[in-house]
Structure 1
Amino acid sequence: MTFSRRLLPLAAFILIFACKTAKIPSAPLTATITEEGLLTCFAPGTKLQNEPVWCEVSAVAYDGQKLLFANDKDMPASLSPVFTKTLATLADSTQLPTYLMPAAYANGRKYEDFTQTPDRKFILLTTAFDRVKPSSTDWDGYNTILYWRTGDEQHPLVLAPDDTSRTSIAYRTRLAQALATSEFPGSVPYFKVEGLAVTDRQFLFGIREVGTSYKLFKPVDKIVAVSYAVEKTGAGERIRLRDDWRVIADFDPARKEASLPRPLSLSSLEYDPGRNCFWMLTSIETQNQLDAYLWYSTPDDLMADKPFTLVRDAAGRPLRFGHKGEDLTILDKNRLLIVHDDDRFQLPVGNKIRQPNQAPYTIITIRQR
């Protein structure tokens, strides 16, 4: 009895300490759309092979000084699919962007997502990895990840196992193998990358589609992770991927929120180091409907393959964009910028109608209830 009584103060201390240090669950996040506008990507009437060029922006990043965008369509040689604008001139239709002309940008095709390392040292840009031509290198550019030191976008590097490759085609097989299922044992014939997030230890690829081909596939919301390291080289620093590829999440928006339109498929994935959370955009694209919704998850929940949480407005309704949300970037601790790829739909934005040389965007303000 005496020994037990002596333990009581110690047990009480441990309990009090545990209560003080226990992690209190954060309140649900809500968001408000605070700005909508149109980004002018190039001059009106721009053509390629006598056909009008459409601005179909699919990737965005904010490096703290300027915004970087990528168009997922080929551009005339005098322009570039990757360009920059300041935040102050985002909505200014009279000021054209600055185009990034290094050849590496034109060599990559069908860009889908920008991201940044948590320490903000590197910017990365991935293509869709959605096609390859057997016995030919003609389509290798569709399998490319570029990266560069933040602020040094004039010198992009190619993410590859070596220092001389012009594309990242070497990683396509590993992605296909990681996505193998009972339906596609060994590897998946077709898949599409639409998201890329980077933590201090891992690359996370957001997968939108898997199937037999680009004509026969099913929409998915899967996330593939692989470890990486930054290595010193004679020419500076290089990012190297390890060989531990695996699916860490297989999310079904319909099971989480049955009231939303379906199918909703992943269109962007981003790690937010300030909030220590992951943002995910899901979108739907049919002949009659374009729409997108925003979700979030903690790192622990993501790694445990727990469902993402839907972002709602102040009234508790799902926050919806009415456009095909394609990518997002963090502007500051409270605001996110979302860019939309509405293909050739000319939907209204405020009192304006989107023109072929423009892309819609939305800025939202995040709040915690």
Structure 2
Amino acid sequence: MRNYYSLFSVFLAAVLLADCKTSRVVTGKTVAVESAGIESEDLLTCCNAGLKLPDGSPVSCEASAVLYDNGTVYVANDKDMPTGLSPVFTKSWNALSDSLTRPTPLLAEAFRTAQKYEDFASNGEYIFLTTAFDRVKPGSTDWDGYNTILYWKKGQEANPQVLAPEPGAKNSVAYRQPLSKLLAQNRPNYPNGMPYFKVEGLAVMDSLLLFGIREEGEKYDKFDYRVRIVAVPFFTEKTASGDRLSLRNTWRIVADFNPATVPGLPQPLALSSLEYDSKRKLFWLLTSIEANGQLDAYLWTATPEQLFRSQSFMLVRDAQGQPMHFNHKAEDLTFIGTDRLLVIHDDDRTPTKVGAQTRQPNQAAYTVLKIRTTDRTHGL
């Protein structure tokens, strides 16, 4: 694999791999976000209106993951789709809001068998897509598809691979145990691992995967909201059938952030997306709330130094100094060019408004932000 490491990320990787506590000073540039403002809002039509699943229930477009790459927008729905379609599809950026231009489904078996997608990530060479890891059925493989991480080299989306310890695996359920044990550290109530958790964020920094945890607790209806971030390195293996990625067994909790430390925001806010912006050397975080019919979300940033030291994320504000927020359950973000940010929303079955339009079940709302940033030099 090509090596994109900066001095700082080499240092961070060494810390994670060796569990080292040595410090060193590196001078470099980071970017501070001055403000963000809404440039446009619209609706993405995911499929034909009135489409139904085999059981007769209507198809719901609950877009939870988005990635822009060279004029193409990748979208993943966290709900199942009928035969012949896929919860993962692409659409041209120039036709994103065109309701007459249908998306192109990605029909590889791996896309159609995994369930409940949550986040895309890319390091410029590989694209990754994770599910929620929020359910497993003891003694059965029925729900193993909810525990899947897919990856492929850019331009090779017709051949997605499953990230798993063993070649040929159909899912990544084997990674659920180390993640569960890690999240249960220092939690005496869970000696066998965290029974329930939900992954909603995925970022990749060079050769580190970072998972954002939104929920954890006893079970799906008894949990606490979280903004916790887990990092694990990955590496490339040469095989007879081509390059294969694997994870090292060095999982670490690198950040545990409480949005309630910022006064005036609704609670409980929890993580809904995590992305690494290699151009600006910034992590971007979405937190959202979905309670009693209220949908809202907020945007944050952190330098790698801040994130890996578990310092507070910085709230992004608009030009008037007010918190940048969305009247939607923002689920994922991706950059369009240098200073525009596309944010996709998963409003579930709520008929939210976008201007004069009311979102229909086969549609997803999205927002395009204009970002203003400034360069800063710092010592690490």
Q: TM-score, normalised by structure 1?
A: 0.91
Specify the code of the residue in structure 1 equivalent to 2:294. Answer: Q
Residue type at the aligned position of 2:140 = S
Is the counterpart of residue 268 in structure 1 residue 277 in structure 2? no
Query: The residue matched to 1:96 in structure 2 has which SS?
Result: coil
In the alignment, does 2:314 pair up with 1:303? no
CA contact (8 A) 1:61 1:68 kept: yes
Please state how far the C-alpha of 1:25 moved relative to its aligned partner: 7.1
Aligned equivalents of 1:22 and 1:269: distance in 2? Answer: 25
Q: Give unpaired runs (5+ residues) of structure 1.
A: 1-20
CA contact (8 A) 2:31 2:282 kept: no
Higher Cα Rg: structure 1 or 2?
1
The one of 155, 160, 163 equivalent to 1:156 is 160
Note the C-alpha offset of 1:35.
1.0
- Judging changes above 3 Å, is the alpha-carbon distance between structure 1 residues 25 and 270 closer, same or farther for their aligned structure 2 residues? closer
- What's the secondary structure of 1:268's corresponding residue? strand
Q: Which residue of 2 aligns with 1:60?
A: 66
- CA RMSD of the aligned region, Å? 1.3
Distance 2:160 2:30 in 1: 40
Q: Does 1:209 align with 2:212?
A: no
Cα deviation for residue 23 of structure 1 reads 5.3
Q: What are the residue-to-residue correspondences of 1:1-369 with 2, within 5 Å?
A: 26-48=31-53, 49-117=55-123, 120-180=124-184, 181-182=186-187, 183-255=189-261, 257-368=262-373
Shift of the 43–317 alpha-carbon distance from structure 1 to 2, 3 Å rule, reads same
Give 1:217 shift: 0.4
Distance in 2 between the 1:23 and 1:112 partners?
Answer: 32
Shift of 1:144: 0.2
Q: Distance in 1 between matches of 2:149 and 2:30?
A: 36
Cα displacement string for residues 90-134 of structure 1 (whole angstroms, at most 9, x for unaligned residues): 0101111001111111110000001111xx111111000000000
328-337 or 353-362: bigger deviation: 328-337
Shift of 1:186: 4.5
Give the Cα–Cα distance (whole angstroms) in 1 for the partners of residues 199 and 154 of structure 2.
23
Deviation at 1:161, TM superposition (A): 1.0
Q: CA deviation at 1:163?
A: 1.4
1:244-298 CA-partner distances (Å, limit 9, x unpaired) = 101110000011x110000000000000001001000000001220000000000
> What SS does structure 2 have at the residue aligned with 1:51?
coil
Counterpart-to-counterpart distance in 1, 2:143 and 2:230: 23
Structure 2 CA distance for partners of 1:22 and 1:170, relative to 1, 3 Å: closer
Q: Distance in 1 between matches of 2:32 and 2:75?
A: 32
Deviations 1:67-112 (A, max 9, x none): 1101101110121100000100001011110011111111100000
Is this contact kept in 2: 1:63–1:151, CA < 8 A?
A: no
In the alignment, what sits opposite 1:11? none
**For 2:56 and 2:288, how far apart are their aligned partners in 1?**
31
Q: Is the 8 A contact 2:33 2:371 kept in 1?
A: no
1:336 Cα deviation after fit: 1.0
Please report how far the alpha carbon of residue 233 of structure 1 lies from its aligned counterpart in structure 2 after TM superposition.
1.9
Q: Which amino acid aligns with 2:274?
A: L
Question: Deviation string for 1:317-338 (max 9, x for gaps)?
Answer: 0001100000111112111111
Corresponding pairs, count: 346
Are the counterparts in 1 of residues 334 and 343 from structure 2 also a CA contact under 8 Å? yes
What residue identity is the alignment partner of 1:294? L
Displacement of 1:232 after TM fit? 2.1
Higher relative contact order (CA 8 A, sep 6+): 2
C-alpha separation between the residues in 1 aligned to 2:212 and 2:100? Answer: 35
> Do the aligned partners of residues 25 and 175 (structure 1) sit closer, same or farther apart at CA in structure 2, a change above 3 Å counting?
closer
Shift, 1:238, TM fit: 1.2
- Aligned-pair identity (%): 54
More displaced 10-residue stretch of structure 1: 46-55 or 316-325: 46-55
More displaced 10-residue stretch of structure 1: 25-34 or 120-129: 25-34
Secondary structure of 2:289's counterpart equals strand
Structure 2: 5+ residue stretches without partners: 1-25, 375-380
Contact residue 237 and residue 244 of structure 2 kept, 8 A: yes
Task: Give the SS at the match of 1:88.
Answer: helix
Pick closer, same or farther for the CA change 1:167–1:27 going to 2, 3 Å: closer
Q: Which segment drifts farther, 235-244 or 306-315?
A: 235-244
Distance in 2 of aligned mates of 1:113 and 1:144: 12
Q: Contact 1:109–1:141 (CA<8 Å) still a contact in 2?
A: yes
SS of the residue corresponding to residue 325 of structure 2 reads coil
